[in-house]
C-alpha cells in the first residue's frame, strides 16, 4: 500500500533510522544490521528511510548511505536538520548529501521550529536547493497550527509534517491534523509505539525508564523530564491497561495493533517505525498486512479518548513549549 503526497509516493510504513550509526540514546548499532534491515525492507516494498543530521551526530545518515550505496534509486530518503540558519543551511544539505552518498535527498525537513530565523528566508533557501535538484521536496517536523499557518501564509510549498502520533499521544487530532488535511500536507507519524511502551514491555508505570518517562504523560519529577507539567500518569496507565485488554480479546500483540491503528487513519501518509534488525522488521511488517476493522479502530479510539481529553492539544510531548 502506498500514498501519494504531492511529488512523493510513500509506503504505509517507513523505517525510522535514529538508532543507525549507534549513539548514547539507543546504544550500539552494527552496520551489518543496518545493511540487512535496509535490504530486507526494500525487498518487502518498504522504501522510505527517515534519518537526520542530529541522529548520532550524523552517523545515522552515514550508515544509511553505506546501506543504500547499491540500491539508491529504489529508495526514498528523508533527512532533516535542527539548525535552520539560512546562512549555513546550504552547507548542511551538502554535508548530508556526502554522508548519504547521494546527489539529492527526496525529502528535506526542518526538524524543529526555531523562531530565531525568519521563516521566509529559511524556506527561500530550501526552495532554491530544490530548484538546483538537491532536494526533491520540502517538509517540516513538529510544526503546530500557528507555526504551520505562518509558513503557509508565505505561500511555501510544504509537502509533509512529521509528528508524534500514537494511541497514547493523539494531540495532533485537535488542530494540527485538520489543518494539514485542508492544505493536503502529508502526515508522517513517528513514535507509533511511544518508544516501546506500546510494545507492552512494561508491567507497571514505575518500570518505565527515564528515556521514555520524560514525556508529558509522566510526572515532572521524572529523571529526564523537561516539560514542567503535572502529567497524567493515572489516566495513562489506565488507558494502557484498556489497550492491553483489547489486545488479549483480539489475540494480537499490542505492537501490531498500535501500528495498525495509526496506519488506519486516512490522514496519515506514512508511519515511521524504528527497526534495529530483521527480526523487528518481520514483526513490523505483520502490522502492514494486518487489516484493522472499523469496529476495532473505534474501540481503540474510545478507550484512548479520555487520555486525549486530559492531556489536551499540546503536541510537544518532550518540552511542552516548542510546538505551537
- Name the burial class of residue 10, with classes exposed (0-12), middle (13-18) and buried (19+) by CB atoms within 10 angstroms of its CB: buried
Give the separation between CA 275 and CA 298, rounded to whole angstroms: 28
> Annotated catalytic residue: which of 20, 55, 108, 165?
55
User: If you ran DSSP here, which 8-state letter would residue 318 be given?
Assistant: S
Instruction: Decide the pairing of beta strands 186-190 and 268-274.
Output: parallel
Closest CA to 313 of 194, 215, 174: 174
Closest CA to 64 of 31, 90, 92, 95: 31
Half-sphere exposure of 60 (CA within 13 A, CB side): 28
Q: Kindly give, in sequence order, each residue whose CB lies less than 8 Å from that of residue 209, ignoring residues fewer than 6 positions away.
A: none
- Name the burial class of residue 304, with classes exposed (0-12), middle (13-18) and buried (19+) by CB atoms within 10 angstroms of its CB: buried
Residue 117 falls in the annotated catalytic set? no
Cell of 176: 494540527
Q: Kindly give, in sequence order, each residue whose CB lies less than 8 Å from that of residue 275, ignoring residues fewer than 6 positions away.
A: 15, 16, 37, 41, 281, 284
Give the separation between CA 324 and CA 311, rounded to whole angstroms: 15
Catalytic (active-site) positions: 55
Amino acid at each position: 500500500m502506498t500514498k501519494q503526497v504531492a511529488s512523493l509516493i510513500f509506503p504505509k510504513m517507513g523505517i525510522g533510522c535514529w538508532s543507525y550509526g549507534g549513539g548514547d540514546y539507543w546504544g550500539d548499532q552494527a552496520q551489518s544490521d543496518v545493511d540487512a534491515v535496509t535490504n530486507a525492507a526494500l525487498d518487502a516494498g518498504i522504501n522510505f528511510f527517515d534519518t537526520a543530521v542530529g541522529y548520532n551526530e550524523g552517523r545515522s545518515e552515514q550508515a544509511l548511505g553505506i546501506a543504500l550505496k547499491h540500491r539508491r534509486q529504489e529508495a526514498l530518503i528523508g533527512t532533516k536538520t535542527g539548525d535552520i540558519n539560512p546562512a549555513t543551511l546550504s552547507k548542511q544539505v551538502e554535508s548530508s548529501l556526502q554522508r548519504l552518498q547521494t546527489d539529492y535527498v527526496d525529502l528535506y525537513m526542518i526538524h524543529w521550529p526555531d523562531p530565531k530565523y525568519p521563516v521566509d528566508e529559511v524556506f527561500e533557501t530550501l526552495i532554491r536547493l530544490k530548484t538546483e535538484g538537491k532536494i526533491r521536496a520540502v517538509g517540516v517536523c513538529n510544526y503546530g497550527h500557528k507555526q504551520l499557518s505562518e509558513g503557509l501564509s508565505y505561500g511555501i510549498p510544504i509537502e509533509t509534517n512529521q509528528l508524534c502520533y500514537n494511541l497514547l499521544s493523539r494531540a495532533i487530532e485537535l488542530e494540527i491534523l485538520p489543518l494539514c488535511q485542508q492544505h493536503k500536507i502529508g502526515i508522517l507519524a513517528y513514535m507509533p509505539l511511544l518508544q516501546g511502551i506500546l510494545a507492552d514491555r512494561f508491567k507497571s508505570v514505575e518500570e518505565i525508564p527515564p528515556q521514555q518517562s520524560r514525556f508529558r504523560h509522566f510526572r515532572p519529577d521524572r529523571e529526564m523530564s523537561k516539560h514542567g507539567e503535572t502529567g497524567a500518569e493515572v489516566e495513562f496507565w489506565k488507558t494502557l491497561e484498556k489497550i492491553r485488554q483489547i489486545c488479549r480479546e483480539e489475540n494480537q500483540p499490542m505492537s501490531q495493533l498500535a501500528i495498525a491503528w495509526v496506519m488506519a487513519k486516512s490522514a496519515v501518509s506514512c508511519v515511521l517505525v524504528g527497526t534495529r534488525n530483521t527480526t523487528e522488521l518481520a514483526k513490523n511488517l505483520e502490522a502492514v498486512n494486518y487489516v484493522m476493522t472499523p469496529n476495532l479502530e473505534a474501540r481503540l479510539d474510545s478507550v484512548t479518548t479520555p487520555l486525549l481529553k486530559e492531556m489536551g492539544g499540546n503536541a510537544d510531548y518532550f518540552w511542552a513549549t516548542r510546538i505551537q
